[in-house]
Amino acid sequence: MSLITLESPQATERIGAHLAGFLRAHSPWSERHFEIGLQGHLGAGKTALARALIAALGSEIPATSPTYTLSNVHPAPGLTVCHVDCYRLGGPEDWDALGLDDAAGAGHLWLVEWPERCGLAGDWRFELSGMGERRELAASAGEEWSGLLVLWLEALGRDGLADPVHRSSEERVPSDGGR
């Protein structure tokens, strides 16, 4: 797991925009959908990160929280972004009822808030924590996609946007950011 400090809402936006450029360059959705799980308490910055990512991917539809609609679809050049919020879902059976099977193929990026409520693991997992201006983003990945995550983290450092701290899973940061 790697930890990135986000000093302000603008830093979250810059990370989202950088992530969009990186993902565009590597197209992890070329053979099947690519899923990023966004975890964290209410107000942690999950939707802010998704909003910046979706805008930077070129969607002309402004991203809003899908808390009440459950899912929002954002066409972007060369892909479709499905922004889903599982906060109000009761479990995996509710996920099935959303009917997102058509969006499980190539050319789709899923941004899933509260994925743990639906039993989703995600290819990448971002957990946001902290309160106020300063936040932290803990990034992890499944085995298949861990190499790509490491490349992105290295790119963040090279581009001067973050200096990720690498931790073992045993050193996990509490959801309140340790405060």
Chain segment 134-178, per-residue pLDDT in tens: 889 999 998 999 999 999 999 998 988 877 776 554 444 444 433
Position with higher pLDDT, 177 vs 9:
9
Banded pLDDT at 83 (limits 50, 70, 90)? very high
Using the predicted structure, report yes or no on whether residue 36 has a pLDDT greater than 90.
yes
The enclosing domain of 46 has a CATH number of: 3.40.50.300
Report residue 29 as tokens: 């959705």
Asked if residue 75 belongs to a domain, the reply is yes
Q: What angle do CA 92, 85, 47 make, to 5 degrees?
A: 150
Which residues neighbour 63 within 8 Å (Cβ) at sequence distance 6 or greater? 47, 50, 51, 54, 55, 72, 74, 83
Residue 9: predicted pLDDT: 86
Asked if residue 170 belongs to a domain, the reply is no
Asked if residue 110 belongs to a domain, the reply is yes
Asked if residue 40 belongs to a domain, the reply is yes
Total number of domains in the chain? 1
Residue 100: predicted pLDDT: 72
C-alpha distances (whole Å) from 53 to each of 96, 101, 115, 165 are 25, 23, 18, 22
Position with higher pLDDT, 112 vs 94:
112
Asked if residue 89 belongs to a domain, the reply is yes
Distance separating alpha carbons of residues 170 and 93, to the nearest angstrom: 31
Asked if residue 147 belongs to a domain, the reply is no
Using the predicted structure, report yes or no on whether residue 131 has a pLDDT greater than 80.
no
| Average pLDDT rounded to a whole number, residues 36-61 | 93
The owner of tokens 């599982």 is: 86
Asked if residue 158 belongs to a domain, the reply is no
Banded pLDDT at 99 (limits 50, 70, 90)? confident
Asked if residue 82 belongs to a domain, the reply is yes
The fraction of the chain above a pLDDT of 90, given in percent, is 46
DSSP track, 85-145? E-TT--SHHHHHHT-GGGGSSTTEEEEEESGGGGT---SEEEEEE-SSS-EEEEEEE-GGG
Domain that holds residue 94: 2-134
DSSP state letter for 169: G
